[in-house]
């Protein structure tokens, strides 16, 4: 298969075939909700929808999101090759209805109709020393993007100071403000430190971790576990109808900060948590 | 499970209460930000007949045009309704709408409009795009497709057994308000403030 066609298949899989770790988490959430509750009903509908989308090869959610590519490629290769193939795949994926046209010009309000525009799709390129190519794709929904939040510590309204206790408070604050608007049960990515742009970038890249995958640093892993417990006590529940499952997992990472700044970013993704990885090694393409 | 079919009378809609599960059939019109802005600013007549005693749906679908020129819905879940908060009450009353389908719920201004003009807010399952598209039996027509683009156009559709939950009723009840107040209280306890 040509590169561009392999990327088209990556897009199709991301939009229509929910990853097993997420599906398992949704199943667990379904089992936790009480019989006959709106929450149980919603989780049942979500699971049925996931199965239907996979069988019919149609987008599980009509908001197929913004396309964000993270491409790692070997030394000596050009970015252009990957960019061109991905742009072709985005256009073709739109024509095949794997994707809804989601690139709108803010000045004219015109939709490009094919998901290609200025910084759309967006690319994070990284040259690495491995003899293989890794293309990761996230389809980031707009509703959940709107409930993401960035804070600088200290944050007096909730008495959040410059430490992990402060970080815990503002993640709770962001999730309670989001209510069901981000299509709960959602997944939370947290980036601690860095400037405003790279703080958000760090929080979002966490979404490539698998559900249940804890951070190698004990302090952050403990905070992830603590927050997962805290957030599910809020009883916002699926779609904000009330219930036990508000958040499926919390992924945190940290990076150096400027002495004067303590920026924390909270990214939210809906239950339709669409990210897939494609690897090309010795001419063989595999997907995860 | 309550079954409802458009046209829906004011009397029927006022009987619904928060928490009711409904299977909706009949005429539904999609409308998002551009559509609501237009309906408030220009009050166009082309959509009046389709909306009368029917339902508006906050949705930007994935669609497919068949060789015979007919459209079909491929994926069509709800979008976040709160963006239409400034417009919704006026649109419901102006066009005699009986139901608003969306996700995430709406605010006090809409709640007041629903009560005053006799309509409810139906919550659909966010993200359930394929499942909901399967309940769309026919795309009757589309308005403003060229000007607004696929997600923002007015798609007039015929649905059968579209699953929704009443989360704001015509008597001022709102599940969203209840959950918000309760969860804020728990959050404050967790944060120790």
List, for residues B35-45, the tens digit of each pLDDT value.
999 999 999 99
The answer, yes or no, to whether residue A1 has pLDDT greater than 80, is no
Q: What is the pLDDT of residue A232?
A: 98
Which residues, in sequence order, are CB contacts of A41 under 8 Å at separation 6+?
B21, B165
Give the model's confidence band at B127: pLDDT under 50 very low, under 70 low, under 90 confident, else very high.
very high
| DSSP alpha helix (H) spans, B44-135 | 48-51, 85-95, 108-117, 129-134
> What tens digit of pLDDT does each residue of B136-172 get?
999 999 999 999 999 999 999 999 999 999 999 999 9
Q: Which of B191, B137, B20 shows the shortest CA–CA distance to A226? A: B191
Class of domain B2-191 as given by CATH: alpha beta
Integer Cα distance of A17 and A23 in angstroms: 10
Integer Cα distance of B13 and B23 in angstroms: 13
Which residues, in sequence order, are CB contacts of A272 under 8 Å at separation 6+?
A18, A60, A61, A141, A183, B127
Mean pLDDT of B115-122: 98
Q: How many CB pairs under 8 A join A and B?
A: 171
CATH number of A3-13+60-141+274-287: 3.30.360
Residue B48 forms contact with A (CB below 8 Å): no
The answer, yes or no, to whether residue A29 has pLDDT greater than 80, is yes
Mean pLDDT of A161-187: 98
For residue B136, the cross-strand partners are B159
Chain A interface, best mutation among B66, B128, B184, by max A CB count within 10 A: B128
What radius of gyration, in Å, describes the C-alpha atoms of chain B? Answer: 17
Give the residue with greater pLDDT, A138 vs B193.
Answer: A138
The answer, yes or no, to whether residue B1 has pLDDT greater than 90, is no
Q: What is the pLDDT of residue B160?
A: 98
Task: Show residues of chain A in contact with B76, CB under 8 Å.
Answer: 62
> What tens digit of pLDDT does each residue of B50-98 get?
999 999 999 999 999 999 999 999 999 999 999 999 999 999 999 999 9
**Residue extents of the structural domains in chain A:** 3-13+60-141+274-287, 143-269
Q: Tell me if residue B36 is catalytic.
A: yes
Which residues, in sequence order, are CB contacts of B52 under 8 Å at separation 6+?
B7, B95, B96, B97
């Amino acid at each position: 298969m040509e590169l561009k066609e392999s990327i088209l298949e990556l897009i199709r899989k991301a939009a229509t075939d929910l990853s097993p770790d997420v599906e398992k988490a949704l199943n667990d959430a379904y089992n936790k909700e009480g019989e006959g509750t709106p929450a149980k009903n919603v989780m049942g509908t979500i699971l049925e929808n996931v199965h239907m989308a996979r069988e019919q090869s149609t987008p599980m959610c009509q908001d197929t999101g913004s396309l964000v590519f993270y491409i790692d490629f070997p030394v000596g290769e050009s970015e252009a090759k990957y960019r061109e193939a991905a742009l072709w795949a985005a256009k073709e994926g739109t024509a095949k209805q794997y994707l809804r046209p989601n690139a709108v010009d803010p000045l004219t309000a015109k939709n490009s109709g094919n998901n290609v525009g200025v910084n759309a799709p967006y690319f994070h390129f990284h040259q690495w020393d491995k003899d293989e190519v890794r293309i990761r794709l996230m389809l980031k929904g707009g509703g959940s993007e709107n409930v993401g939040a960035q804070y600088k510590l200290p944050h007096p309204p909730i008495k959040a100071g410059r430490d992990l206790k402060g970080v815990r408070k503002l993640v709770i604050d962001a999730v309670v403000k989001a209510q069901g608007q981000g299509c709960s049960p959602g997944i939370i990515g947290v980036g601690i430190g860095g400037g405003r742009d790279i703080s958000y970038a760090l929080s979002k890249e966490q979404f490539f971790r698998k559900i249940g995958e804890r951070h190698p640093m004990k302090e952050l892993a403990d905070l992830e576990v603590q927050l997962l417990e805290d957030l599910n006590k809020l009883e916002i529940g699926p779609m904000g109808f009330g219930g036990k499952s508000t958040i499926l997992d919390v992924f945190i990472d940290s990076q150096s900060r400027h002495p004067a700044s303590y920026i924390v970013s909270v990214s939210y993704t809906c239950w339709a948590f669409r990210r897939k990885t494609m690897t090309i090694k010795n001419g063989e393409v595999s997907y995860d | 499970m309550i079954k409802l079919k458009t046209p829906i009378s004011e009397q029927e809609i006022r009987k619904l209460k928060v928490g009711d599960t409904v299977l909706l059939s009949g005429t539904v019109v999609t409308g998002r930000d551009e559509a609501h802005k237009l309906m408030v600013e220009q009050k166009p007549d082309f959509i009046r007949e389709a909306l009368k005693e029917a339902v508006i749906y906050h949705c930007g679908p994935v669609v497919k045009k068949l060789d015979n020129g007919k459209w079909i819905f491929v994926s069509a879940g709800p979008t976040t309704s709160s963006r239409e908060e400034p417009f919704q009450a006026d649109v419901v009353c102006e066009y005699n709408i009986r139901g608003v389908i969306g996700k995430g719920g709406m605010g006090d201004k809409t709640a007041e409009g629903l009560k005053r003009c006799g309509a409810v807010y139906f919550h659909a399952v966010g993200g359930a795009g394929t499942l909901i598209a399967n309940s769309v039996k026919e795309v009757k027509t589309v308005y403003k497709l060229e000007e607004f683009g696929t997600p923002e156009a007015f798609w007039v559709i015929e649905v059968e057994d579209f699953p929704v939950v009443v989360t704001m009723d015509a008597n001022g009840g709102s599940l969203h308000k209840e959950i918000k107040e309760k969860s804020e209280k728990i959050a404050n306890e967790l944060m120790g403030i």
